[in-house]
Amino acid sequence: MTTTHPIMRKQLRTTAHTQMLDITEAVAEAVRESGAANGIATVFVAHTTAAVTLNENTDPDVVRDMTREIGKIVPWEDGYHHAEGNSAAHLKASLFGASEQLIIENGRLVLGTWQGIYFAEFDGPRQRQFCIKIQADSDQASGGAQ
């Protein structure tokens, strides 16, 4: 069984057209606030021109490379039909995805040594939001022992 916590909504402001913002600490803070010892954290982006992804958060060149290369794969101008002119942003968001599920163990996110959680902006700058939903193992919801 699981204990479901209320959805936590986090606001952020992007400052560039294409941008990767490290939201790892915001998600880790939500896990701590929930008191969940073990379970799952889902991070969801309810935007069609933004996404969430996991990748290296130690070397900033990785993020620079990601944003540059996704621009090559899906160029901004490519004869798209969408009247708003942001089809590339929709395509990029679909390629990255709107959610990530992360394991919670002993009250902490299970991430690789170099992994971080990124909010990926493809049509900024804008005011944005992402959601975090915590599902804790019932016998661990308050950090109690099994």
CATH number assigned to the domain comprising residue 60: 2.60.120.460
Tell whether 144 is covered by a domain.
Answer: no
Angle at alpha carbon of residue 87, lines to 128 and 130, rounded to 5°? 20
pLDDT value at position 91? 98
Residue 146 resides in a domain:
no
Q: Tell me, what's the pLDDT at 2?
A: 80
pLDDT at residue 141, rounded to an integer: 46
Cα dihedral 66, 134, 44, 11 in deg (nearest 10)? -90
Question: How far apart are the C-alpha atoms of 15 and 46, rounded to whole Å?
Answer: 19
CA angle 6, 109, 93 (to 5 degrees): 75
Give the pLDDT confidence score for residue 144 in this predicted structure. 44
- Residue whose C-alpha is closest to residue 20's, from 53, 46, 58: 53
The pTM of this model reads 0.91
66 domain residue, yes or no:
yes
What's the total number of domains in the chain? 1
Beta bridge partners of 12: 128
Give pLDDT, residue 146: 39
From CA 33, how far away is CA 38, in angstroms rounded?
13
Please identify every stretch of the chain with a pLDDT value under 70, giving residue numbers as ranges.
139-146
Q: What pLDDT was estimated at residue 143?
A: 46
Asked whether 57 and 24 are in contact (CB, 8 A), the reply is: yes
**In angstroms, rounded to a whole number, what is the distance separating the alpha carbons of residues 40 and 59?**
27
- Whether residue 131 is contained in a domain is answered as yes
- 35 occurs within a structural domain: yes
pLDDT digit string (tens) for 86-125?
A: 999 999 999 999 999 999 999 999 999 999 999 999 999 9
Q: Most distant CA pair in the chain: distance in Å? A: 58
Domain range for 59 is 2-138
